[in-house]
Amino acid sequence: MSIETFVQHTIFRSPWIHRVLPAFTSALVAFAIGYVFMVTPLERVMGAAQKIFYFHVGSALSAYGAIALVFLSSVMYLVDRKPAWDLMNEAASSIAFLLCSIVLVSGMIWGHSAWNVWFRWEPRLATFLFLWLIVLSCVLLRSVLPDDSRRRTLGAVMGIIAAVNIPIVIFSIKLLARNEQLHPEVVAQQGLQDPRYVTGLLISVAAVACLSVWLFFVRLGNAALRAEVDAHFRRRG
């Protein structure tokens, strides 16, 4: 199946995308919320504020996945110049921006609740803010430039730049000693002592991932429909 067939036909006709995926995602998100708030125990130090951790981590992982898709579609567009890859780039960039915004806001809320600090210029927070600005630039770029090959090429280049920053964000926490930064390494260093913490984290990560996939297909369908409408009016004009 070509990329054009996938974008133009499968998304509009697949019952899995239009019925099964939304129903499954809604049920999984509801179950994740119920499990996190009703089953997982209160953390001894942070209390109820710790529960934002589950969706903060899930949003971060899904954001990285969306940016990986941005990278793939960017490279493929630069290779064969097919507009369908640009549509995937546009959709994935929008979802990545949404997820990065959730990570940034939820992290600030968590940080203020735990350490009474909204934001501090330490490596992990600064690099993620820089990543958010790059993804924001990818989204804004499409709103100010006309829909032509120049906009698509710049979008692809910006998408690759955003992807290159992912390893920097992940490993930036190693640049300072743990006692010199606020951002914790909960899973890697402290661990999750109660099995319900682990279960809640896995369920919330899966829920956010499914929601991100659903939103991506919705956004991709809208982009493909807009492209068809624009092409129709160009032919008539």
pLDDT in tens, 213-230: 999 999 988 888 777 776
Residues 167-178: what's their mean pLDDT? 74
In contact, 32 and 196? CB cutoff 8 Å:
no
Q: What secondary structure does DSSP assign to 34-62, as a single string? A: HHHHHTSPPBTTTBGGGGHHHHHHHHHHH
Please report which confidence band the pLDDT of residue 188 belongs to, taking 50, 70 and 90 as the band edges: very low
Query: Burial level of 62, CB count in 10 A (0-12/13-18/19+)?
Result: buried
Please report which confidence band the pLDDT of residue 5 belongs to, taking 50, 70 and 90 as the band edges: low
Distance CA 131, CA 126 (A): 9
| Alpha carbon 151 to its chain's center | 22
Total number of residues shown for the chain: 237
Please report which confidence band the pLDDT of residue 121 belongs to, taking 50, 70 and 90 as the band edges: confident
Give backbone dihedrals phi and psi of 57, rounded to 5 degrees, phi first. -65, -45
In contact, 236 and 72? CB cutoff 8 Å:
no
- Output the pTM of the full model: 0.87
Please report which confidence band the pLDDT of residue 237 belongs to, taking 50, 70 and 90 as the band edges: low
Residues 93-98: what's their mean pLDDT? 96
Pick 85 or 178 by higher pLDDT: 85
Position 77 scores a pLDDT of 94
Position 196 scores a pLDDT of 83
| Cβ burial 78-107 (10 Å sphere, 16+ → b, else e) | eeeebbbbbbbbbbbbbbbbbbbebbbebb
pLDDT in tens, 13-24: 777 887 899 999
Position 111 scores a pLDDT of 78
pLDDT surpassing 90 at residue 95:
yes
Q: What percent of the chain has pLDDT over 90?
A: 46
Distance CA 209, CA 215 (A): 10
Position 232 scores a pLDDT of 63
**Contacts of 234 by beta carbon, 8 Å cutoff, 6+ apart:** none
